[in-house]
């Protein structure tokens, strides 16, 4: 019956059925792959973020920046803040 079904149907119908089966299989494999890889990707990304946060806080502590309104304004307007932003952006890239 299957051979009769495929031989009697049009070329377009055969093409669509074949593509549906192929993309269904590819979709299942992609889903399984991403399900297996996703936790590792999140772990690596969060490790990178914690390194950046630690480096930034160590740099601010080393510069002895006080957290008052005046000192924060002075710090962010200085070239030191620009250097920190540049270092963070290079680390992310």
Query: What are the pLDDT digits (tens) for 56-88?
Result: 888 777 877 667 777 767 766 766 555 555 555
Can you list the alpha helix ranges (DSSP code H) found in 1-93?
A: 2-8, 11-62, 69-77, 79-92
* Predicted TM-score (pTM) of this structure: 0.40
- State the pLDDT at residue 91: 53
Between 65 and 3, the higher pLDDT residue: 65
- State the pLDDT at residue 24: 97
- State the pLDDT at residue 61: 79
- Is the distance from CB of 65 to CB of 71 less than 8 angstroms? yes
Cα separation, 48 vs 3, in Å, equals 56
Listed in sequence order, the residues at least 6 apart from 84 whose beta carbon sits closer than 8 Å to its beta carbon are 56, 59, 60
Q: What is the pLDDT of residues 9-40, one digit of tens each?
A: 788 999 999 999 999 999 999 999 888 887 77
């Amino acid at each position: 019956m299957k051979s009769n079904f495929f031989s009697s149907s049009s070329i377009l119908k055969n093409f669509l059925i074949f593509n549906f089966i192929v993309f269904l299989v590819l979709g299942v494999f992609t889903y399984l792959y991403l399900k297996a890889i996703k936790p590792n990707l999140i772990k690596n990304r969060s490790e990178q973020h914690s390194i950046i946060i630690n480096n930034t806080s160590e740099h601010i502590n080393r510069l002895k920046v006080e957290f008052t309104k005046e000192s924060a304004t002075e710090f962010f307007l200085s070239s030191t803040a620009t250097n920190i932003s540049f270092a963070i952006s290079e680390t992310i890239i």
